[in-house]
């Protein structure tokens, strides 16, 4: 009969698959964000707006990489509490997606001001999303 510590230290394929799935989801999600920022960045001329969107580009790309890396290197025993804490950020994720969809919808029907306002709201709401994901990672790593 194996003790509890031997069972916890045993490699689990399902935990690894879960880590890969969550980290890939975060990486792809923020890659889509970076793609949207990059499309906006390419249309701008030289000025402060271009510099602002460039900094958002670098920020989103580095954040997605760092989160995915931290999740992949979590211990198996801390991954389940991370998933439970990560599930609490689902509200922020849904609001962010709704703002993004609203932005694309308004721009497609030529309501550019409403589309840009939704886009700014999506970028602003991303700060809440980043905060909740960061707290989930910090909770299990401390």
For residue 105, what pLDDT is reported? 82
For residue 119, what pLDDT is reported? 80
- pTM of the predicted model, to two decimals? 0.63
- Residue-wise pLDDT for 22-45, tens only, equals 888 877 777 777 777 777 778 878
Output phi, psi for 111, to 5 deg: -100, 75
Task: Look at residue 107 and tell me whether its pLDDT is greater than 80.
Answer: no
Instruction: Give the separation between CA 91 and CA 128, rounded to whole angstroms.
Output: 10
- Domain residue spans of the chain: 15-141
Instruction: Give the separation between CA 7 and CA 2, rounded to whole angstroms.
Output: 7
């Amino acid at each position: 009969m194996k003790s509890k510590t031997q069972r916890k230290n045993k490699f689990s394929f399902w935990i690894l698959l879960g880590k890969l799935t969550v980290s890939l989801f975060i990486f792809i999600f923020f890659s889509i964000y970076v793609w949207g920022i990059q499309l906006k960045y390419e249309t701008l001329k030289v000025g402060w707006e271009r510099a602002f969107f460039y900094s958002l580009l670098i920020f989103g790309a580095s954040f997605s990489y760092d989160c995915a890396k931290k999740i992949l290197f979590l211990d198996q025993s801390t991954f389940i509490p991370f998933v439970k804490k990560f599930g609490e950020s689902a509200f922020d994720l849904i609001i962010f997606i709704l703002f993004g969809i609203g932005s694309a919808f308004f721009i497609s029907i030529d309501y550019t001001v409403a589309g840009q306002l939704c886009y700014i709201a999506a970028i602003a709401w991303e700060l809440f999303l980043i905060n909740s994901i960061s707290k989930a990672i910090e909770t299990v790593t401390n």
